Structure 1
């Protein structure tokens, strides 16, 4: 009886452990306390990098704009991950490398982009598995070619 209850408790514990969410943090989730240390007009680019680390992205048109983008998700079992926390911070620098503006962008305003399912056409012949298999049987091996080169002979 004691072994049966122990086995039952162990099985129940494993089942519950399997339901605990998987937490994933991607990007750079900036800390609110560190952000409060950045003062527009007085904090330099080097100080920002010291406080927050390297930016996730820089502006493509204006390199004086840094973005810190981070997201924390939780996923339970086979379900889609839920976004628990998301933060996008934009820091603009003036010509002297001093913070001109610091603002947080609402991540909910971002649009989701669905990747295209289309494939890029290529030149050539699409071979079936059987054609590839038969084609490889007739092809000389690399070892044979290398042996012929070492002997100095031609085929």
Structure 2
């Protein structure tokens, strides 16, 4: 009976601390902008498949169009969706749609480095402190 009480109280304490880590959700083709920047018109199908991998959707009746669909939700809740459509004429890439990133840089689809994560955590901490005290702290160098 004591063991059950200890386990239940420990579970209650842990659930209140938000220690649970949420895994990132990736579906479809997760394509980074640096991969898309390497695409060039006139590449053959093998070269495109080497760069981007197999397309997630191809039309069984039209072999001249490949669709790459990507969805990524980070543990912080940031969601990125991307649809890239490639059109071929014969064996060569003729047209590309969705390769330019509308936001300038798609951070949620990239794997951030340690420095970026630390900077984001510092920024989040400063924002939390400014909400609690009412004082807005400006980062160094700005």
The interval holding the TM-score normalised by the smaller chain is: 0.5 to 0.7
Q: Report the counterpart of residue 29 of structure 1 in structure 2.
A: 30
Contact 1:87 1:104 in 2 (8 A): yes
Following TM superposition, the consecutive aligned residue runs of length 4 or more in structure 1 with deviations greater than 6 angstroms are none
Q: How many residues in Structure 1 have an aligned counterpart in Structure 2?
A: 89
TM-score between the two structures when normalised by the length of structure 2: 0.53
Structure 2 residue 87 is the aligned partner of structure 1 residue 85:
no
- In structure 1, runs of 5+ residues without a counterpart are 1-6, 77-81, 106-155
Secondary structure at the aligned position of 2:55 is classed as: coil
RMSD: 2.9
Listed as ranges, the matches of 1:130-149 within 5 Å are none
| Structure 1 residues 16 and 28: alpha-carbon distance in aligned structure 2, compared to 1, 3 A threshold | same
Q: Report the counterpart of residue 126 of structure 1 in structure 2.
A: none
Contact 1:27 1:69 in 2 (8 A): yes
- In structure 2, runs of 5+ residues without a counterpart are 1-8, 100-142
Say which one has the larger Rg.
1
Contact 1:29 1:86 in 2 (8 A): no
Displacement after TM superposition at 1:64 (Å): 1.1
TM-score between the two structures when normalised by the length of structure 1: 0.49
